[in-house]
A and B are shown apart, each in its own frame.
Chain A
């Protein structure tokens, strides 16, 4: 299995390669792999040099702009392994973590299928309003939720955001409060991150967060 990992200041873009285009999966900051299968990570970077390191799975390998490197590894035990950028890459090098989730092959296949689906259209009125807020705001310049008109690629893919355990590259556990905090003021949580502060009225914010929380 081959994954493309692209380093960005300060988050990880992950693409599951596949011969058929509709099975190519793009996600961020959380890598799922099947246990007992060899995995190849193909690394590169769009900006500066980063380095991938999961102390309990594999040693470091740099992500270089303009060059490709690879990591071959395999996880034998299911589990959640924490990794972090290991090459100084600027202001938020400290907050550039990620998770590797190793699960039995069946669980992994199920996960992959679920992730490949586009986001479901929201049913609750609150979430419907939230989707509108999302599509009206600057968010779509940088983010994509498949199944909606948004197609930004500057920031992490959000289609199944709520299935991930952390937001902002391992910085905050995924929950309602943290999502709201992050969206209104990412700069106080992760100064320098390439996501601007956004002014959203409180009501809209609640709707938006509900919408994001439902992206499972």
Chain B
């Protein structure tokens, strides 16, 4: 094994704690024992709730988001049962409105964005070649807050006080006058929970990607999935505050009688729409950009070549991130906007098609010029490309004002955004789960079931959602719990509902494959796909400390460049948690930084915050009293432990 001992780490070592035990030792077994001791999570319940290991948290984050996916999917099945025939009697209007609100809200806030961040929480530190995510306790906190927010809103639903105003809760419908009771408050508070969680992860990812890269992973060697997550994290940071401000104003209107959105008192109903869509449109790209990163990072393994146009892909992702903020008004073409404004937003909606097109081009070029191997992840990628092109075309149609006023808020739009969300994000995500499952668990998922899974999902999805375009053009509005027989939409709706059952079955099969493979899957080995990025340089599943030695990156495809063994950097202490911090552009090692130990306080802080948030649905005083336990918990969390580094 070649060892490049980093000069600067060495200097620091000589200056400070010269005598401490380090990972320079040659005895691998001994090293494994000591590092496991230092980085391991204690067994049992206590270990489980205090852990700060990004892999354990990432895994439970992913599992939780998929659990919410299934709940939302079940809600969709009930909706489709109700719409299968005219004047259906399965559910009434009240329940139907709760169902589509829970479906949309869960899919957007508790599944799509969160699952991307959850996968990144697991994978990114491994891709970066580091031993834990930045701010690991914040990471634990983020998970608990997310979990409690989701449980709260579904709990409200099962108590029949679930929100019923749609996933974008337009005022004044969601305001105090037209939504009395607590339903809309649960919705608004759920936003606050999930945004806190998402912002926390965004901060962790940004710092991990910028400061914890393996030595030698210069900017132009950062894998595309990491680029995608970096851009996503910045988008989250800029977009989420807007909806948090909006939902806080809504809560204040509802709870303490402010009039931000009340036209009778000089408020403005369109203000809400601007605040919401300033977040809401980037949101779609917050979901899509990570998915595109997954594709870029999977393709090399299945085409046996580096991805075509690495730089073009990086630039596309960045420009998508920026352009997505110029698009929000295209959700509001049918309100009341000045003509010039409309033209501007039409143009920018068309503009974003360019970087999207470049990405597709690069992926197709990679496939065509490579030696494709059609394993399940690759099938999902192909399925994605086909679906996304259709979804993109309909998107450009929606973006032009005259056509938009016809299809806006009709089933055409329902079809369009499911094409973008399922085709554009869920397909790559499922592919990515097949791809990384061996790394998550140490076992392969069944390929045979995988193929069934893909074909059911792909065919069922197109059968279910393509006809919705037609229903929309025939005049069927969205969010209706029923329709009259004379309209002749019945047959097509029945067909859509039957196809939706197939889609649901494909997800059930996916779940079965996961559960089955957890026990019976073939053992995977370190790098079953012969992929090129660092997460495959360690065992599957990785040990608590991720890498026995910090890898040093010498090329853009590190594992392909160094076939025999990666060069490594040594000098980290083994008796306490330490990471290498590297410079932003060149990834030169700068210093050794300690990484926090497990702690119960993130969980307790999350519980205190939950008390405050839920309490404030019922009385504004909860903010005052709730801040006391929260302050105590946070103080305990950040209590100095006597060493010079503050813990995060």
Contact = CB atoms under 8 A, between A and B. Distances in A.
Contacts of A58: 405
Nearest to A69: B336
Contact of B477 (A59, A67, A84, A90): A84
Contact of B410 (A56, A82, A86, A192): A86
A157 interface: no
Nearest to A172: B484
A171 B484 CA distance: 8
B477 A86 contact: yes
Interface string A55-80: 11011111011111100000000000
Contact of B93 (A48, A61, A84, A192): A192
Given A59-B404, A69-B335, A86-B409, A53 B477 contact: yes
A92 interface: yes
A66 B264 contact: yes
Given A94-B482, A94-B483, A62 B335 contact: yes
Contact of A51 (B269, B334, B483): B334
Interface in B480-517: 480-484, 487
Given A49-B269, A88-B170, A66 B263 contact: yes
B334 A60 contact: yes
A55 B270 CA distance: 25
Interface residues of A, number: 36
Contacts of B478: 88
A85 interface: yes
A87 B93 contact: no
A61 B172 CA distance: 17
A26 interface: no
A195 interface: no
A51 B409 contact: yes
A158 B93 CA distance: 27
A192 to B, nearest CB: 7
B474 A55 contact: yes
B341 interface: no
A89 interface: yes
Contacts, number: 103
B406 interface: yes
A91 interface: yes
Given A59-B406, A86-B410, A48 B178 contact: yes
B475 interface: yes
Contacts of B477: 53, 84-86, 93
B170 A47 contact: no
A61 B334 contact: yes
A206 to B, nearest CB: 27
B172 A65 contact: yes
Contacts of B482: 94-95
A91 B269 CA distance: 20
Interface in B309-365: 334-336
B149 interface: no
B173 A91 contact: no
B402 interface: yes
Nearest to B408: A60
Nearest to B478: A88
A154 to B, nearest CB: 16
Contacts of A196: none
Given A59-B402, A86-B408, A86-B477, A91 B97 contact: yes
A92 B408 contact: no
A191 interface: yes
Contacts of A92: 93
Contact of B269 (A61, A65, A69): A65
B409 A65 contact: no
Contacts of B178: 9, 47-48, 90
Contacts of A47: 172, 177-178
Given A48-B178, A49-B172, A94-B481, A62 B92 contact: no
A104 B502 CA distance: 50
A62 B336 contact: yes
B128 to A, nearest CB: 44
A66 B409 contact: no
Interface string B402-442: 10111011100000000000000000000000000000000
Contact of A89 (B173, B268, B405): B173
Most buried by B among A9, A53, A60, A88: A88
Contacts of B17: none
A88 B479 contact: yes
B103 to A, nearest CB: 14
Contacts of A53: 409-410, 475, 477
A62 B269 CA distance: 12
Interface in A135-193: 170-171, 191-192
A88 B166 contact: yes
B173 A90 contact: yes
A125 to B, nearest CB: 36
Interface in B441-493: 473-475, 477-484, 487
30 contacts: A48-B170, A48-B172, A48-B178, A49-B173, A53-B409, A55-B473, A56-B475, A59-B334, A60-B334, A60-B409, A61-B405, A62-B334, A65-B263, A65-B269, A68-B336, A82-B487, A86-B409, A87-B409, A88-B166, A88-B170, A88-B173, A88-B409, A88-B479, A90-B173, A92-B93, A93-B479, A94-B479, A94-B481, A95-B482, A192-B94
Given A60-B334, A94-B479, A94-B482, 12 more contacts: A47-B178, A49-B269, A53-B410, A55-B474, A65-B263, A65-B269, A88-B165, A88-B166, A91-B93, A93-B480, A94-B481, A191-B94
Interface of A: 9, 47-49, 51, 53, 55-56, 58-62, 64-69, 82, 84-95, 170-171, 191-192
